[in-house]
Amino acid sequence: MITVLDHKAIGQRIRLRRMEMDLNQDQLAELVGVSTSFIGQIERAEKSATLDTYDRICDVLGLSLDYVARGVMNRCDQQDCRLYKDAVEMMKSFGAKYEDVT
């Protein structure tokens, strides 16, 4: 099965986590080993990165590649993942029902 990646959603997930970690684009770029402008372009979905670069971004941000690419966490990861719990609570605060976010 071929899945088309939603680069806008990927960029939003990266940006949200970067901001949660109180990192600016310069800091993330330095930790990942890319330019600041490239991080901005990824977050705005103007460019996509290689799998290796996405993997390094995920490593720095403490996210799984599966979550960044598809917005999905494995069920076993969800139970103990603070980020998942925070995301559910945030979505609820915007009016989403629990069933909508699980």
CB 49 within 8 A of CB 40: no
CB count in 10 Å sphere of residue 43: 21
Structure pTM? 0.70
What is the rounded CA–CA span in Å between residue 15 and residue 49? 14
Residues 52-87: tens digit of each pLDDT: 999 999 999 999 988 999 887 655 454 455 666 676
Query: According to the model, what pLDDT value does residue 20 have?
Result: 93
- Residue-range domains of the chain with CATH: 1-71 (1.10.260.40), 72-102 (no CATH)
pLDDT for the residue 5: 86
Q: What pLDDT does 76 receive?
A: 44
The pLDDT-based confidence of 102 (bands split at 50, 70, 90) is very low
Can you read off the two tokens belonging to residue 100? 């909508």
Cβ atoms of 45 and 10 within 8 Å: the answer is yes
29 within 8 A of 35, measured Cβ to Cβ: yes
